[in-house]
Structure 1
Amino acid sequence: MALSQENASCHNQSTLADGSPTKSAIMFSAGVLGNVVALILLEIRRRKQSASLFQVLVTSLVLTDLLGTFSVSPVVLTAYLRNESLIGMSKIRLVCGHFGFSMTFFSLVTLAILLFMAVERWLAIGHPYYYEKRMSKRCGYITVALIYLLCAIFSGTPFLGFGKYVQYCPGTWCFIDMHPPESKHKVFNIIYASCLLVMIVCTVLCNASVIYHLLLMYRRRKAHRSSVPRQRGHTRHRSIAKEVEHLVLLGFMTIAFVICSLPLVIQVYFNTCCYQVHDQYDLLPLLLVSVNPIIDPWVFIILSPPVPRLLWDKMCKTAKCKSTQEKVRSIHPVLYHSKPPGNSEGGSVMQGYTGTPGTAGS
């Protein structure tokens, strides 16, 4: 498999080829600020009401993004300040290995938590009885811990010879070898890309199922609106609105991760299966993967209530206002033309609004 001369030299160079720390500093600042603000919003919400399983998972996702940002961005800034590549900063390639491990580990953990969030919503909407019996915050903590453990084991196998982390131009990147010469490294790449692809597909399918069940809930509520008491209907309206909030947040986070991860999956498959490759295309998928921890918290900040709740309430109030006006027009003639014997017209109107059985003749 042919490697370009520039990329081959970047694998072992000890100084930076080019580049500026400005872009990395901006990305680091935006990532830290977004995640910190998102954590503050989650803490404020937790103090107002007890945290749900979904909020536990969102908090885990934000903390994961924050840890990922702190694990790689300071290394890049240090490399620019010292004008040394990741290989040059450590004779035993420790820094490069740390960077590659972090990129692989946090990309897997982030998508795994997103998948668990999608499964949680799918169970809550599609299988509420099972959800109430089996799903809890404790289940969320255990699942997140297992996700961290399994992803750490897989991401650590390159240190044991299964898979390989190499340095990329301009010397501030280390990731899995996108053009591995050995078969075992190719197998590692295929497993990594396949895990990402399977989790992406499952997350999208779960979200599609949630949308389908929400549409069914809305149709049932609309069909039985006349027979449902007002208070119960209001509660169900709030329940659907809350589920829509969760779905919107999860949907946009999924879209962001698909955009950031799918190019990497395609590139890994392409590099493994094809012999004629262009190494300059490897940097873009790596850049997109590193951008995802910056996008996720800002998606949460923008789509976090009360923003979607205000939009939903405004839509519902508009529809409810029109429905109320139609009901008043239909009820108004009855109120003003039905007069009980012996009562005045004014009394008839008052009885129509406030009268109760047993008081009409008093």
Structure 2
Amino acid sequence: MPPQNFTHGPVSTNETQINALPIFMFAGGAIGNLIAIIVLSVSRQERKSSAFYTLVCGLAVTDLLGTCLASPLTIANFLDPNVLKDQRLCEFHSFLLLFFGLTGLSIICAMAAERYLAICCPYTYERWRVNRRFAQKFLFFIYISHIFFCCLPAMGMSRSEVQRSGTWCFINWGKHEPVPASYSVMYGVVSLLLILGTIVLNLAVCGALLLMRQRTAQRPVTRASVRQRWRALSSAAETQMIAVLVTTSVVVLACSAPLVVRLFANLMMNKYPDADLAAIRIASVNPILDPWIYILLRRSLFRRLLRLSRRGRSTRRSSSPATQRNLFHPELMRESHVFTQLMCNANIMTQLDFVSELLSVGRKDCDVSVDPQLDRTLRVTEILFIK
């Protein structure tokens, strides 16, 4: 029988190519996740302290650990086909595939739940104090519970065995004995619930955002709505989080779903080793693709994309009411950059409260010495938000 490749079946071509492929996959997953962790670590403090980016970093660390633990066994089995014939190593390899597959789905579902609470249930979000520490505790709970659940086959609830290709180990998901079949069903049901929960939560979050944008666009601009308008205009960070969440969810679910389907298929019909091999191939690509989502959708690049999209919209709206209002207030075109720079400061909400107070009392009646730059901002704010 010709030598086998890590999730790539029988290969009868050049031996150098055979040995190089799992090494390249290992290097791609390890280097990509290391870069992603560095990118997340050097982000701004408010992002590092948020629960969402703590979960994102947890997913990157999980992918890195999965790559560094599972790939060396695969490479060693390439060099010596008898490596996985050791029952202990086979059970360990099966545990790694079970654990990291289920943990990735759980973290993605937790990210979707965090965004759902933050956007759709803000009072619950604040009452539960969902922050970085809360996310760290939840990650710890995921790891401990999944370690116990994925160790059940080694405790006798199922049995791990080398699959037909001879390159990977997994639970004996083809037998219809009550105990092994029950564990396969349990694992498949938990994975399926996590997939469905992620899809439902993502749809709910996207629907809520679209509804909020529609209501904000239809709301008339008044003095009392300055704060609400700013919150609507400052949603770039929220939009970036949703982009990261949805893109990562699509990748993880697309890579994990085939393996879950094969779990149920092997219990209901005869085994198809080629289909099982294809499912584990797809799952092995997930740790390689995930980190590039965090790298490519980082804040700076996302802002550039938003600027390009806004420029495209502004050129198409040359005859819109907003443009006509600028014709009556040419000073807005000269001083809008001051407003933009001030709005990007970390204490933006404090400045807006002060602006609202000045506007409500009246600038002439307010005995406060205003900084020249803030005074220019007041005039621009009056033009923007007051008819």
Q: TM-score range by the shorter chain?
A: 0.7 to 0.9
Q: State whether structure 2 residue 175 is matched by structure 1 residue 180.
A: yes
Q: Which one of 129, 149, 153 corresponds to residue 148 of structure 2?
A: 153
State the one-letter code of the partner of 1:196. Answer: S
1:250 aligns with 2:245: yes
User: In structure 2, the residue corresponding to 1:36 is in which secondary structure?
Assistant: helix
Aligned twin of 1:114: 108
* Alignment partner, residue 140 of structure 1: 135
Q: How far is the alpha carbon of 1:216 from its aligned partner?
A: 1.6
In structure 2, C-alpha distance between the alignment counterparts of 1:34 and 1:114, rounded to whole Å: 18
**C-alpha separation in 1, matches of 2:311 and 2:219:** 19
The DSSP-based 3-state class of the residue aligned with 1:163 is coil
Query: Within the alignment, does 1:84 sit opposite 2:106 as a pair?
Result: no
Aligned position for 2:187:
192
Paired position in structure 2 for 1:211: 206
**Residue 237 of structure 1 pairs with residue 222 of structure 2:** no
Name the residue aligned to 1:30: 28
> Which runs of 5 or more residues in structure 2 are unaligned?
13-17, 331-378, 380-387
Q: Is the 8 A contact 2:105 2:253 kept in 1?
A: no
User: 2:24 & 2:49 partners in 1: Cα distance?
Assistant: 32
Residue of 67, 70, 75 corresponding to 1:69? 67
User: Which residue does the alignment assign to 1:165?
Assistant: 160
Instruction: Flag as ranges the 4+ runs of structure 1 deviating above 6 A.
Output: none
Q: 2:305 & 2:220 partners in 1: Cα distance?
A: 22
Conserved? CA contact 1:38–1:297, under 8 Å: yes
1:279 shift after superposition: 2.2
Cα offset for 1:317?
Answer: 4.8
Give me the whole-angstrom Cα distance separating, in 1, the residues matched to 2:311 and 2:226: 15
- Letter in structure 1 aligned against 2:74: V
Aligned to 1:358: none
Q: Distance in 2 between matches of 1:272 and 1:214?
A: 41
Report the Cα offset of residue 231 of structure 1.
Answer: 6.9
> Number of aligned pairs?
315
Following superposition, the deviation at residue 153 of structure 1 comes to 0.8
Specify every segment of 5 or more residues in structure 1 that has no aligned partner in the other structure, as ranges: 1-5, 11-15, 333-353, 355-362
Letter in 2 for 1:43: S
1:271 maps to amino acid: N
SS at match of 1:162: coil
For 2:252, give the aligned amino acid. F
Alignment identity in percent? 29
In the alignment, structure 1 residue 303 sits paired with structure 2 residue 297: yes
Alignment-derived partner of residue 58 in structure 1:
56
CA-CA distance at 1:267 after TM superposition: 1.2
Contact 2:158 2:180 survives alignment (8 Å): yes
> Of residues 198, 201, 215 in structure 1, which corresponds to 2:196?
201
One-letter amino acid of the counterpart of residue 59, structure 2: L
Once the two structures are superposed, what CA deviation does each residue of 1:66-98 show, in whole Å capped at 9, x if it has no partner? 0000110011112222343411xx3xx111111
Q: Is the 8 A contact 2:48 2:54 kept in 1?
A: no
Q: 1:110 to 1:50 in 2, by over 3 A?
A: closer
Contact 1:163 1:184 in 2 (8 A): yes
1:13 alignment partner in structure 2: none
Cα distance in 1, alignment partners of residues 298 and 245 from structure 2: 11
Aligned residue for 1:175, secondary structure, equals: strand
1:74-131 CA-partner distances (Å, limit 9, x unpaired): 11112222343411xx3xx111111100000011111101101000000000011111
Aligned equivalent of 1:99: 93
CA-CA distance at 1:278 after TM superposition? 2.3
TM-score (norm 2): 0.75
Aligned counterpart, 1:328: 326
Q: Distance in 2 between matches of 1:166 and 1:224?
A: 62
Residue identity opposite 1:292 in structure 2: N
SS in structure 1 opposite 2:170? strand
The letter of the residue matching 2:56 is V
C-alpha separation in 2, matches of 1:196 and 1:270: 14
Report the 3-state secondary structure (helix = DSSP H, G, I; strand = E; otherwise coil) of the residue aligned with 1:166: strand
Q: Deviations over 1:37-77 (max 9, x none)?
A: 10110111045765211111101110000000011001111
Q: Distance in 1 between matches of 2:237 and 2:89?
A: 44
For 2:126, give the aligned amino acid: E
Matches within 5 A, 1:4-23: 20-23=18-21
Match of 1:348 in 2: none
- Indicate the SS of the match to 2:152: helix
On the 8 A contact 2:41/2:48 being kept in 1, the answer is no
Q: Contact conserved, 1:225 with 1:233, CA < 8 A, in 2? A: no
Give me the whole-angstrom Cα distance separating, in 1, the residues matched to 2:329 and 2:160: 75
| Match in the other structure for 2:37 | 39
Give the TM-score normalised by the residue count of structure 1: 0.80
Q: Assess, with a 3 A threshold, how the Cα gap between structure 1 residues 314 and 163 changes in structure 2: closer, same or farther.
A: same
Q: 1:129 aligns with which of 107, 123, 126?
A: 123
Equivalents in 1 of 2:31, 2:76: separation in Å?
20
RMSD: 2.5
CA 1:37–1:129 in 2, change beyond 3 Å: closer, same or farther? Answer: same
